[in-house]
Amino acid sequence: MVAPGRGVGYDPRDLSGPGLSRRRGGHDSDVKIYLIAPRNPESFWTFDRILPSLGKRCAFPNLSLPTVAALTPAGHEIVLCDENVEPIDFDTDADIVGVTGYVVHKTRMFEIIEELHRRGKFVVAGGPFASLCPEELRGRVDVLFVDEAEYTWPQFIREYEAGAWQAEYRQEEKPSMLDSPLPRFDLLKIGRYRSMAIQFARGCPFNCDFCDIIVMYGRRPRTKSVEQVMAEVAEIHRLGVRNIFVVDDNFIGNKKEAKKLLLALATWQEAHGYPVEFMTEVSLNVAQDDELLALMKRADFSTIFVGIESPRKASLESTGKTQNMREDILTSVHRIQAAGIEVMAGMIVGFDSDDPEIFEEQFRFIQAARIPISMTGMLNAVPKTPLYDRLKAAGRLIAESVGDQFVFTNIIPKGMSRLELYEGYRRLLERLYDYGNYRRRAMALILGRGALRASRLATTPGDLTLLLRIVWACVLNASPRRAWLTLSMVLETALRRPRAIRDAITLALMHKHLYEYSRHTAARLDALILELREFPAAGLLPAAEAERISS
């Protein structure tokens, strides 16, 4: 077990020396804590355009909130606020207000922190953005948490109760996941989410140079015990949730432990009548392990997200994504699909080995791979990653990462101009989510996917209500093209593979978000493209983006 880490400048004998602060007013009662997750900017991942049809406000919660709540010593009042499902109470009477978020939440985090301080609140911050870019939060918050908080958060609460605390807490050693408690899912507005989130492991054994996961969590995967995860699944099931997203950045980083968990999940599913559907993120080498695929199917992992990144070997090699080069990528994807599991893909354009031909290669690959949902973005260099350091040393960074690779890249590409990158990427998005191209991929998956479990189209009154909402959004209150896409997919599936009718409805609905969001993104890209065409020598960073980033 990893020993509890100490904060910056920690001295257990000194509660008043440098780096420590005194409690304002000296509270004698229990501490009230208000934890905030900022609103997500719209992206492929947020599915904002279809959430009303699902009767939800957010796809899944930020797991930091219920985890930190569970880490809080007993006896204190905890209130969780996810801005995606409810407004922030800036007038809260909490003694401590905590804010978390990713790099993509940077601007909104600053706004929230500023407004809280304007109202005299005591503000602390932690999470991925705080861990990757602590220098941007120092001086903005009263207390800063860098890296994982299993040990430093309880330490801070104890010191706050004692009347003195540090300005910054940093976890020097990676904590044991065995010390991570059962998250307080009961404090979330459960009914407002499409799925619940759990975490089995942190860290990834691979070394992709653009990835911040190994920076934050290391290359040695650390896992919870099977008993811990099963307790979380049971609690979520008790709360009435039927979809769980295992948010590990690589669920199979430790295959041995992953197989133990999958066997336990499969046994639980079989005993309870398969009440929960799972989704997670894995590396492509899952395709080379038949036992692993069989266990994922038994446990009802219906969908997995895979970082494929590029069909071009030179691009994969240049970025250290060698695990995707063990066999033909199409063969790997089709083998996963043959196991009955849908593949969502993460794809990137803008690697050093990419030239203007890459956009056609990407399109042809995604079509041939039968991947309806591809989160395709431009390469961004995230602070602290090997890519960031390499490009900064080469003078090829034009801004800090803003976390939004779907609209902006902070790199100067090597194999093409920035204008060629933006123009090619815009055309690629347009082609990917064109009605006909999407339908071809979706139907190829529906008809070519391996054996499915029995369809659960409408087994409860809630399912029927959901189905009616989808019919309204995608047929009755939709454009003729959308109605055609939906009805043609459903009818063809009903005739050729009726057990997959639920997949047809789901993929037709997903296209609504993907198409509308890609059109919105295209309009933003058009503004950047126009500026680069008119003022090619005006500066490397488009004025509109420079203004947005600086704000």
* Same-domain pairing of 191 and 337: yes
CATH of the domain at 85: 3.40.50
Given a contact cutoff of 8 angstroms between Cβ atoms, the answer to whether 202 and 150 are in contact is: no
Residue 103, token pair as written in the block: 């790099």
The tokens for 438 are 């999407």
Q: Estimate to the nearest angstrom the gap between the alpha carbon of 209 and the chain centroid.
A: 19
Looking up tokens 């039927």 gives 242
Centre a 10 Å sphere on the Cβ of residue 482 and count the other Cβ atoms it contains.
Answer: 19
Mean pLDDT across 217-226: 94
Whole-angstrom Cα distance, residue 125 to residue 108?
A: 13
In this structure, what token pair is assigned to residue 207? 């070394």
Please, which residues have CB within 8 angstroms of residue 299's CB and are 6 or more apart in sequence? 262, 265, 266, 269, 278
Residue 339 pLDDT class (50, 70, 90 cuts): very high
* In a domain? residue 121: yes
151 and 239, same domain (yes or no):
no
Angle at 361 between CA 360 and CA 366, to 5 degrees: 100
166 membership: H or E segment, kind and range: strand 164-166
Determine which helix (DSSP H) or strand (DSSP E) holds 202, and give its type and residue range. Answer: strand 201-202
Distance (Å) of CA 474 to CA 271, 457, 478, 480, 508 = 36, 17, 5, 10, 8
- 477 in a domain, yes or no? no
Is residue 445 in some structural domain? no
R_g of the chain computed on alpha carbons: 24
Distance between CA atoms of residues 510 and 353, nearest Å: 32
Domain finish residue from 378, 413, 428 = 378
User: Do residue 316 and residue 361 come from a single domain?
Assistant: yes
Q: Is the pLDDT of residue 230 over 70?
A: yes
Q: Could you tell me what percent of the chain has a pLDDT over 70? A: 90
Residue 479 domain flag: no
Contact criterion met (CB below 8 Å) for 101 and 128: yes
- Verify that 332 and 285 share a domain, yes or no: yes
Q: Is residue 234 part of a domain?
A: yes
Spatial distance between the Cα atoms of 152 and 131, rounded to a whole number of angstroms: 13
Q: Does the residue 78 lie in any domain?
A: yes
CB atoms within 10 A of CB 368: 15
- The Cα 91–Cα 165 span in angstroms is 24
Q: Residue 399's pLDDT band (boundaries 50, 70, 90)?
A: confident
What CATH number does the domain containing 271 carry? 3.80.30.20
- Whether 191 and 124 share a structural domain: no
461 CB-near residues (< 8 Å, 6+ apart)? none
What tokens appear for 321 in the block? 């994504």
Measured between alpha carbons, how far is 316 from 196 in angstroms, rounded to an integer?
33
Residue 547 has pLDDT above 60, yes or no: no
Distance of CA 500 to the CA centre of its chain: 27
pLDDT at res. 543: 41
362 in the same domain as 221: yes
For residues 198 and 386, give the distance between their C-alpha atoms in angstroms, rounded to a whole number. 28
CA atoms of 209 and 224, how far apart (whole Å): 26
207 pLDDT more than 80? yes
Bridge partners, 20 (sequence order): 166
Residues 188 and 281 in one domain: yes
Please say which residue of 111, 135, 170 terminates a domain.
Answer: 170
186 & 86 share domain: no
Mean pLDDT of 14-28: 41
Give 218-265 as a 3 state SS string.
CCCCEECCHHHHHHHHHHHHHCCCCEEEECCCCCCCCHHHHHHHHHHH
Range of the domain at 156: 20-170
Kind of pairing between the strands at 77-82 and 164-166: unpaired
Domain finish residue from 378, 412, 437 = 378
The mean of the pLDDT values for the chain is 91
Which has the higher per-residue pLDDT, 234 or 16? 234
pLDDT tens digits, 51-79: 999 999 999 999 999 999 999 999 999 99
Average pLDDT estimate for 506-516: 97
Residue 403's pLDDT band, with cuts at 50, 70 and 90, is low
Local structure of residue 506 (DSSP, 8 states):
H
Nearest CA to 284 out of 222, 206, 362 is that of 206
> Is residue 383 in a domain?
no
Mean pLDDT of all residues in 29-44: 93
User: Which one has a higher pLDDT value, 470 or 17?
Assistant: 470
Q: What residues are paired with 126 via a beta bridge?
A: 100
Asked if 223 and 297 sit in the same domain, the reply is yes
- Encoded tokens for 39: 């609103």
- Regarding whether 373 and 292 lie in a shared domain, the answer is yes
Per-residue model confidence as pLDDT tens digits over 162-204:
999 999 999 999 999 999 999 999 999 999 999 999 999 999 9
Q: What is the 3-state secondary structure (H, E, C) of 101-165?
A: CCHHHHHHHHHHHHHHHHCCCCEEEECHHHHHCHHHCCCCCCEEEECCCCCHHHHHHHHHHHCEE
Q: Same domain for 35 and 78?
A: yes
Query: Over 80: is that where the pLDDT of 89 sits?
Result: yes
The domain total for the chain is: 2
Strands 243-246 and 277-282: parallel
Whether 410 maps to a domain, the answer reads no
Same domain for 165 and 36, yes or no, is: yes
